[in-house]
Structure 1
Amino acid sequence: MSSSKRYPEEFKIEAVKQVTEKGHSVAEVASRLGTTTHIVNLEFMQVLHLSLLQIR
């Protein structure tokens, strides 16, 4: 059984916005959301990837 946690799309988008639009550090956002910097970075990459796919 996998122990990985799944985050809702809204959570991912909000985490990315806090870094990209509000200027908070990844560490601040991760701490505020109760997760790790690794997760926030993964969320950023997923949202960026989805955005790029929509542009094409």
Structure 2
Amino acid sequence: MTTGVASRVSGQLGSGNPYPVKPAATLLMTIPVALVFFAFQRHFVRGGTAGATKG
């Protein structure tokens, strides 16, 4: 997806002002990653503190 956004913004696929396309595409690419992070946030934190030593 990032390659497609890069080629779209650089003007290879069209002409004109691609500015509105870049933030929209970035938001659409970020949403799935954010959903996975929030769904498994408890596991990430637990895994990060599992190997920590006290004191």
For CA contacts below 8 A with separation 6 or more, give which structure has more relative contact order.
Answer: 1
TM-score range, shorter chain: 0.3 to 0.5
Of structures 1 and 2, the larger Rg is shown by 2
Task: Give the alignment's TM-score, normalised by structure 1.
Answer: 0.37
